[in-house]
């Protein structure tokens, strides 16, 4: 079931990218990249803001195994929350700006190429979002979610295992220091 949902999301990314076109899709993909970079930079520095707002669950280490076992989970928990909040805010701000630039893509000579290249970038955008969601689900203290998502599903595991650069950078960001 999760494979179907992930597959549909990726196909939806292709379609949205096709409809948006290259120029607008570059901005949407840019929101992911810029949001990721800004969130990586500021989430460790702003994590303390969430310690009073969001209490850490008592069973936060339950269900953690493999590379996550023995790591500083409480600190990582607030860094993850901070990362998510910053990422969403940056994405919203930049997407508002991108929607304003949609006029350029309507020029007749670049419309088809714009749409095809936009489809590819739309797929990449959704892939990155799905990767981040799957990664955060594996780290957060909700074993029932992990079981529901990864049992009898091949796409989520494939996405996490075949995106090693992002996986390593997120482990370094959340669990080191």
Q: Is the pLDDT of residue 17 over 80?
A: yes
Per-residue pLDDT reduced to its tens digit, 47-63: 888 877 877 766 665 65
Asked if 62 contacts 141 with a C-beta cutoff of 8 angstroms, the reply is yes
DSSP H helical ranges for 101-110? none
Phi, psi of 71 (to 5 degrees): -90, 165
Q: Is the pLDDT of residue 130 over 70?
A: yes
Per-residue pLDDT reduced to its tens digit, 96-127: 776 666 666 666 776 777 788 888 888 888 88
How far is CA 70 from each of CA 59, 65, 171, 175, rounded to the nearest angstrom?
Answer: 14, 9, 13, 10
Q: What is the mean pLDDT of residues 39-53?
A: 83
Taking each helix axis as running N to C, give the angle between helix 22-46 and helix 73-100, from 0 to 180 degrees, rounded to the nearest 10.
Answer: 150
How far is CA 36 from each of CA 12, 41, 43, 152, rounded to the nearest angstrom?
Answer: 22, 9, 10, 30
Please count the CA atoms within 13 angstroms of the CA of 94 that sit on its side-chain side: 20
Q: Is the pLDDT of residue 12 over 80?
A: yes
Whether pTM exceeds 0.85: no
Q: Is the pLDDT of residue 65 over 60?
A: no
pLDDT of 102 reads 61
Asked if 119 contacts 22 with a C-beta cutoff of 8 angstroms, the reply is no
Residue spans of the domains in the chain: they are 2-175
pLDDT of 177 reads 54
In 3D, which of 33, 125, 139 has the Cα closest to residue 79? Answer: 139
């Amino acid at each position: 079931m999760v494979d179907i949902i992930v597959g549909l999301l990726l196909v939806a990314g292709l379609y949205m990218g096709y409809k948006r076109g290259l120029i607008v899709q570059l901005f949407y993909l840019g929101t992911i990249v810029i949001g990721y970079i800004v969130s990586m930079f500021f989430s460790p520095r702003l994590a303390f803001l969430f310690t009073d707002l969001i209490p850490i669950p008592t069973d936060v280490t339950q269900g953690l195994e493999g590379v996550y076992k023995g790591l500083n989970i409480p600190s990582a928990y607030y860094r993850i929350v901070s990362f998510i909040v910053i990422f969403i805010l940056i994405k919203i701000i930049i997407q508002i700006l991108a929607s304003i630039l949609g006029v350029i893509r309507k020029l007749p000579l670049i419309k088809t190429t714009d749409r095809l290249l936009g489809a590819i970038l739309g797929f990449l955008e959704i892939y990155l979002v799905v990767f981040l969601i799957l990664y955060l689900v594996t780290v957060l203290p909700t074993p029932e979610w992990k079981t529901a998502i990864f049992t009898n599903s091949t796409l989520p595991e494939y996405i996490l295992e075949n995106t090693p650069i992002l996986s390593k950078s997120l482990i370094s960001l959340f669990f080191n220091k």
